[in-house]
Structure 1
Amino acid sequence: MKIAVVGGTGFVGSRLVEKLRSEGHLATAHGRSTGLDLVTGEGLQDALSSVDVVVITIDAPTFDAAASPFFRSASGNLLRAAENQGVRHVVLLSIVGIDRISEVDYYAAKILQEHLIEAGPIPYSIVRATQFMEFVEKIMSWTSEGDIVRLPTTRMQPIAVGEVVDTLADVATGTPINSTVSIAGPDVFPLDELGRLTLQAHDDGRSVVVDESAGLFAAVPDDAITAPSGARIGSVHYTDWLAHGHAVA
């Protein structure tokens, strides 16, 4: 099967390309570094030539209101090119809970992206994932100052990126579901607790202070970004993941 991964040079996409190739598929990676411009459409026709499946793992350049026009342009160009090239299945990586948090600009933009894929001319599958374990330290860096890390008590259910990649590969090589599947890690933690566990695992002397107004996830209510009913649940526990020395570079 020939599969084009748009965003295939990024954090998730590059791992997905490697996984698909290991399974014997012809997987190609596409992004700005390979000459693909989703906003103008440059390079799309060549990237999708003779492709069976397109997997979209891109992020917008920013997390603010500019994300929506980016996804509108990118999705429109990609869907037109995919239809022209006879692509039979579009798979989108998205985020658990975005339909429950309209006040976060980036989440609203991802909802728009999903709606464009759903309304498009090609059979599709959407894979929504919870927050990656690999990004917990990045989240902490947004609200760190000196020896203090300020974090809200927002509940999270982090998943290892390897399990996200496995699910994307499974969905991409299967029949389009024309619906959404959600995936999440096995454990739910308040974000401040995730921060403390992470600092302890790395012998980091900083302290976590609860601040319900700190960072992007302060706007997230209740269990909005934890696994919904029917979600696939991974097997990698965050504490085990930390114990094996994983960390963001």
Structure 2
Amino acid sequence: MKKFDKYIASIRLVFLERMAYTKGLWFDIVSTLVSILLYFLLWQIVFREQSSIAGFTAIEMTTYVILSKILSAQFSGGVNLIFSKWIVAGEIGTELLRPMGLFALLGMRRMGEFFFSIIFQAIPVLIFGYFFLGGVGPASMMHLSLFFLSVIISVGIMFYVEMLFGMGCFYTLSYYALTYTKQALMELFSGGVVPLALFPGVMADILNILPFAGMVSIPVNIFLGKYTAWESWFYIGVELFWCAVLWVITHVVYRHVIKKVVVQGG
């Protein structure tokens, strides 16, 4: 029970930290809305010439844009930032001495960031987007349930990818390039920029089974009913597979890099 209380306290701490910077919160909301609006206008121009693209109608593409931008809004943050800063500042040694393990501590922070994003960013943006731009609801209650399940699993994928990029700082001692690289890869290969169905055939097939697809493409396509029930469960299985693979890779890499703890600047 005490361990559970520590987890809740870690999540609560993230909420308190984020609420302390209300201007930053408003900026995130506005920037997400602007991004949605720009993509919406772009797709409206494209759909003037045709009724569907890669199996998406105009209203479905609007829904895809809204949901994908909400999910991909988390890519600019992540635990790799605080992990990298600990390494660069030479604080990683202190963090390793805390009662809560490093993975548990950062994992709870990631969950806190996710829940904060859903409550204070996703819900307002979703309401605004659907009210002013329109959109379609879930294909069915089953698809809605599987959508939420897929999104929850995607948090695990994001966490392990962020941990790997964070650990890269042990070698670079600089987190700016790694952070921007991570964000760019996640945006492009997750379907956060355009649906993966728009990529050339073989490339689309490959991207659909990579871990990045589980962050945006898989949950949104499930929501829209682009997958049958069997296909939805298959892709959720793909997400779980990558969670397990990334768990192993992350822990193997961690055991290697933790031996290279370097304090920069003394």
TM-score of the two chains, using structure 1 as the length reference: 0.31
- Which structure has the highest strand share of the two? 1
- Which structure has the highest helix share of the two? 2
TM-score of the two chains, using structure 2 as the length reference: 0.30
Which has the greater radius of gyration?
A: 2
